Every structure is written in C-alpha cells, then in structure tokens.
Amino acid sequence: MPDDALPRTLRSARDLVAAGLLPAASAPAAEAVAARYAIAVTPAVAALIGDVSDPLGDPIGLQYIPDAAELVTAPHEADDPTADAPFTPVKGVVRRYPDRALLKPLLACPVYCRFCFRREVVGPDGGLLTEAELEAAIAWLAATPAIREVILTGGDPLMLSPRRLASLLSRLAAIPHVEILRIHSRVPVADPARVTPALAGALGREKPLYLCVHANHEREFTPEAGSALRRLRGVATLLGQSVLLRGVNDREAALEALFRAMLRHGVKPYYLHQLDPAPGTARFAVPEAEGLRLVGALRGRLSGLGQPLYVKETPGGGGKVPVRAAFLGF
C-alpha cells in the first residue's frame, strides 16, 4: 500500500480504491452500498488489512470493506433487529430491562462495521443529540428510580470531545439511583490515537465505570491499541465484547487467540454475540449449533477468565439470553 494511502479515514468507494483496498471493478457496487450504509475505515484499521489483493478474504477487511451482498435483505432480517424503537421512552434512551437503560448521545462511529445491527441509523451525519434532547433524556433517567445502570452506546460515545464526555458522565453520576456507568466502544482498537490523556481523564471516577471494548480478531490488538487500553485501565474496568462472524473468528483457534489477546491487555471477555439479523448481513451468520460447539471447545483451552457469555437477542426486544437456553428451547 502506498505510504500516502492512509492520511485520513477512508469514507467512500473512491477512497478505498485509491488506498488499494478495493478493486476498481468493484467500485460501482461499493458506491451503491455507500448510498445506503456508511463507510469509514480509519488509518489504524486500513493498516491491519493483511491481504490487500483480497480484502474481503481478510478477517479485518471483511469487517469493514463494503460488499454488494449488503444490498440483499434476507427474509429473516429486520431494520431494527434489537427492537430499539418500541422501547424508546424519549429520544436517545432505550429501556429493555427494568434496572438499566441505554443512552445514545450520538450515532457516529470512527468505523462502520458491515454487520452493524444499527446500520440503518448510524453514519457520519448521525450527529449529537441536541441540548434539548439530551436534557430530556437525562431528565427521564433522573425521574426513573428503577434505573441503576446507564450504558452509553450509539454510535460510539468515545467520539465525543473530552469536554462533552466529562460533562455527560458527571451529570449521570450525579443521579442518586444510578450506581453504575458503562460505555461501549470500538475506539480503543479502531482509532486508538483518539484515546488521549484528555479523553481518559474525562471518564471520571464518581461512580464505577465499565468500558466494553468491541473487538473481533486478535490482530486488532496492536501496540497502539495496547497503549490506549493501558491508559483506559487507569480509569475504568475493561470488558470485551465480540460478535461471532463467519470468516472472521468462526474457528476455535481464532476465538482462543482473540480472548487471549483481550486478557493480555487487561480486558475481560464479557459477551460473544450471536449475529443480530440486520439487513444485508447474512454472509456473516454462523449457525447457533456451530457457535455452541466452538464455545464448548474453548472450555478445555482457556481458563474461566477467558470465557465470555455466548448470547443472542430475543425477538421483539426481549433482551439477551444465553444461546444455549435459546437453542435448547428453555
């Protein structure tokens, strides 16, 4: 790849072709995909794609490079597979459980995964909640005493400026019945340069803070990601979440390597998600029975520290359940 191919985030089919990550012949199909679903490949991610001659055959490239298959929606796929909309009491808040709620302060991410379950709504124009919308969301959380945990998601909360992030966390921590704060983010592995001392310092220490790092392959844990994670370990408990993806981590050795990489960086594997059936994601699907076999095989290869809970979303916004229970019918 030319030295000048990685100066900025790649956001179009033209950018991907220029960077050598997409054959020119595939550009029209990628442009059609981009008209519906956002593209963003950071320099950190682009540098990880090992086989630029076939990025869709590379476990990193497969996660981020658009493919024409995304425009084919299977019968079982849905625009809102986790049913955020029916459980949204005010804009930006999702409550599917009695004791916790999601807060989505923005719908922009540093990268756009081709399997994202919110792919219909996230993008560079997702923007922030307005001040009035954020006020209404925080007021709802403050007026709902059953909420003990607030989970910042989106979009990616670590895309917020340190000032905005610090202000938001401080306001949430000031709610007496909120005991735990959690952030879900791709930033530490996909754009580690964003994890500056100022950003880490914005995370605050008023209430217990958990940061869930989304990573799906061991190669995502670069030296730069390691530096970002060391910085974050000083201010938050780090957990790992992954999605079981065909062609990315659907082998025993790949999952073992991923979870060992997490542990080496102080990240406790927390959730391994069954793929949510978002539109155009069928190429990533791994059958639940195969997932159960893979997870079972890990029990003889990793200690309990390296064992995430294998979960899936139940239909209609019923929340997460262990895949074993769903697969066996109880």
pLDDT, tens digit only, all 330 positions of the chain: 444 443 599 999 999 999 999 999 999 999 999 999 999 999 999 999 987 677 778 999 999 999 999 999 999 999 999 989 999 999 999 999 999 999 999 999 999 999 999 999 999 887 789 999 999 999 999 999 999 999 999 999 999 999 999 999 999 999 999 999 999 999 999 999 999 999 999 998 789 999 999 999 999 999 999 999 999 999 999 999 999 999 999 999 999 999 999 999 999 999 999 999 999 999 999 999 999 999 999 998 999 999 999 999 988 888 899 998 555 544
Q: What is the CATH number of domain 85-328?
A: 3.20.20.70
Any residues with CB less than 8 A from the CB of 211 and at least 6 apart, and which?
Answer: 182, 183, 184, 185, 188, 203, 232, 236, 237, 238, 239
Q: How far apart are CA 208 and CA 239, in angstroms?
A: 13
Q: How far apart are CA 82 and CA 119, in angstroms?
A: 12
| Secondary structure element (H or E) that encloses residue 223, with its range | helix 223-233
Token pair recorded at residue 262: 């997490």
- Evaluate whether 36 touches 73 at the Cβ level (below 8 Å): no
Q: How far apart are CA 220 and CA 224, in angstroms?
A: 10
Q: Which residues are 240's β-sheet partners? A: 213, 269
Helix (H, G, I), strand (E, B) or coil at 81: coil
**Comparing C-alpha atoms, which of 281, 288, 308 is closest to residue 112?**
281
**Rounded to 5 degrees, what angle do the CA atoms 295, 297, 298 make?**
65
Token pair recorded at residue 104: 């989505």
pTM above 0.75, yes or no: yes
The residue ranges of every structural domain in the chain are 3-66, 85-328
